[in-house]
Amino acid sequence: MTDTPPAPRTEATDAADATDAPASTDSIDAIVGLWARERPDLTDALWPVEVLGRLQRLGVALEKEFRSFAAERGLELGEFDILSTLQRSGPPYELTAGAFRKAAMVTSGAITNRIDRMEAKGLVERVRGTEDRRSVKIRLTEKGHEITRDYMTGHLANEARMLASFDREECADLADKLRRLLVSLGDTSIT
């Protein structure tokens, strides 16, 4: 049996290959390439890095963007998390520290420290229960409402800017795929 020689390269085949190639490369392409060179036996097994490595890098890049956006508005990212959690909880815009822990997945000490700082800024207030004085809820103040409303409008515009390389249909498709991945890893509703 003889091997068939490859077809000669033409402008058409070069153009077809160019459309199959990514428009640009990123650090994950470089990492995968280095592993493929170092361990050619793993080349076919590197595909998860193509997705999960990018998700990891995106997480770091997005957190940097969000922190910068918050800092420009005089807030820490965790403070906005508390403000927005209170705002979306609806009237009377108050929750227990336990409810925050569930939504934000941080320790009670971290929540307490954040709330202390935010109370000093006049963004939230602690409200003791009328029936059980040991019960304390965190309530959004009017100043907290104003900041959250303004922040959220800018935050959504900033997020749209970060996704500008995708159209709405691509974003919906990506959101669906990411949701499936999160659910498969045990993520559930925060309510």
Q: How many domains would you assign to the chain?
A: 2
Do 84 and 66 sit in the same domain of this protein? no
For residue 89, pLDDT beyond 50: yes
Instruction: For residue 168, tell me if it sits in a domain.
Output: no
Q: How far apart are CA 124 and CA 136, in angstroms?
A: 12
Q: Are 113 and 106 in contact (CB under 8 A)?
A: no
The pTM score is 0.75
138-189 residue pLDDT tens: 999 999 999 999 999 999 999 999 999 999 999 999 999 999 999 999 988 7
47, part of any domain:
yes
- Higher pLDDT, residue 43 or 190: 43
Q: Do residues 53 and 121 both lie within one domain?
A: no
61-74 core/surface letters (b: 16 or more CB in 10 A; e: else): eeeeebeebbeeee
Instruction: Please give the structure tokens belonging to residue 113.
Output: 């420290």
Q: Find the domain containing 135 and state its range.
A: 74-155
